[in-house]
């Protein structure tokens, strides 16, 4: 069943820092919709007040989605218009919204994107990489073992790798990236579009040294160089040879280095796969 065009959910991007980074179209839609759903009601009302918009705002988070979604569908059924905004940036990009969008589609209504600010795209645009492709991971697992395992799964991708990270986990993340991915080129973008915006492009080891001296503050986007095309992939045979060496008495890290030297690959990749096998 199709519905009139005005019965739709608008997914509206809002500024990630600088309040001037909002489009004229976004302002017009936020002004005319019947309800704005927001991850952060106070912050959204502050933005609306700046532009003289008095639209009704209600909370929408993963925790209350089950209760809110049926109400949104009811509003759309009655011909109302609804807009979804994140705390900052584009909804659904490591922010709540995907389940609402899915529900609106399943109910037979349109979902209309209103593009604008995105920390992801902003960071990739200044990475300076010769490869336009990128893989967006978002936030890596908080637990070290799981984080390293996930990085190991991403290690052979030749596209750029993009991560979000919190300041208190940045150093641990960089350490694990260095151990698993090697000393790749990486862009660290901090507080994009805000007063204390900082963008550093360097090797992971140099970035680690920098943040040993300078305490990480704010929200971070990391854009890491992908694996080099000519790099050799760690194979099951290499892992098996490392396993044989551990049975002969070598420690896993030593075994990984021996096999890596034999085949000319990164010992970190062999070590991570060897440890994964040992845990099974």
Pairing of strands 82-85, 8-12: parallel
Contact 252, 242 (CB under 8 A): yes
Is pLDDT at 272 greater than 90 in this prediction? no
Fold held by 120-224: 3.30.950
Residue extents of the structural domains in the chain: 8-117, 120-224, 236-279
The arithmetic mean of pLDDT across residues 240-248, rounded, is: 92
Q: In the chain, what is the straight-line distance between the N-terminal and C-terminal CA atoms, in Å?
A: 50
Q: Which CATH class is domain 8-117?
A: alpha beta
Percent of the chain clearing pLDDT 70 (strictly above): 96
Is pLDDT at 233 greater than 80 in this prediction? no
The arithmetic mean of pLDDT across residues 213-225, rounded, is: 95
The arithmetic mean of pLDDT across residues 17-29, rounded, is: 96
Is pLDDT at 1 greater than 80 in this prediction? no
| pLDDT confidence bin for 232, thresholds 50/70/90 | low
Is pLDDT at 3 greater than 50 in this prediction? no
The DSSP call for residue 64 is G
94-129 tens-digit pLDDT: 888 999 999 999 999 999 999 999 999 999 999 998
- Check: pTM over 0.85? Answer yes or no: no
Q: Please enumerate in sequence order all residues whose Cβ is within 8 A of that of 104, keeping only pairs 6 or more positions apart, or say none.
A: 8, 9, 72, 73, 76, 110, 111
Average pLDDT, the chain: 92
The arithmetic mean of pLDDT across residues 198-218, rounded, is: 96
Tell me the CA distances in angstroms from 83 to 6, 51, 61, 236, one per residue in order.
Answer: 12, 16, 14, 50
CB atoms within 10 A of CB 17: 20
Contact 37, 43 (CB under 8 A): no
Pairing of strands 134-139, 220-224: unpaired
Q: Please enumerate in sequence order all residues whose Cβ is within 8 A of that of 19, keeping only pairs 6 or more positions apart, or say none.
A: 47, 50
Is pLDDT at 4 greater than 50 in this prediction? no
């Amino acid at each position: 069943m199709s519905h009139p065009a005005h019965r739709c959910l608008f997914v509206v991007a809002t500024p990630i820092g600088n309040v001037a980074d909002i489009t004229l179209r976004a302002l017009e839609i936020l002004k005319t919709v019947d309800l704005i759903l927001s991850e952060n009601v106070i912050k959204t009302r502050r933005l609306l007040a700046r532009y003289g918009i008095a639209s009704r705002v209600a909370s929408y988070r993963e925790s209350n989605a089950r209760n809110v979604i049926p109400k949104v569908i009811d509003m759309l059924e009655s011909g109302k218009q609804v807009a979804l905004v994140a705390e900052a940036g584009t909804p659904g990009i490591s922010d709540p919204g995907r389940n609402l969008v899915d529900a609106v589609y399943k109910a037979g209504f349109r979902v209309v994107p209103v593009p604008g600010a995105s920390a992801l795209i902003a960071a990739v645009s200044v990475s300076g990489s010769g490869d336009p492709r990128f893989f967006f991971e978002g936030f890596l697992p908080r637990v070290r073992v799981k984080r390293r395992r996930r990085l190991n799964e991403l290690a052979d991708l030749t596209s750029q790798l993009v991560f979000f990270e919190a300041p208190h986990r940045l150093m641990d993340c960089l350490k694990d990236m260095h151990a698993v991915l090697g000393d790749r080129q990486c862009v660290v973008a901090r507080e994009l579009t805000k007063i204390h915006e900082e963008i550093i492009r360097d090797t992971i080891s140099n970035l680690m040294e920098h943040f040993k001296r300078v305490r990480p503050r704010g929200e971070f986007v990391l854009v890491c160089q992908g694996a080099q095309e000519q790099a050799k992939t760690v194979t099951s045979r290499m892992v098996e040879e490392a396993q044989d060496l551990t049975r002969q008495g070598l420690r896993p890290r030593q075994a990984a280095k021996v096999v890596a030297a034999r085949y000319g690959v990164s010992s970190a990749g062999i070590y991570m796969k060897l440890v994964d096998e040992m845990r099974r």
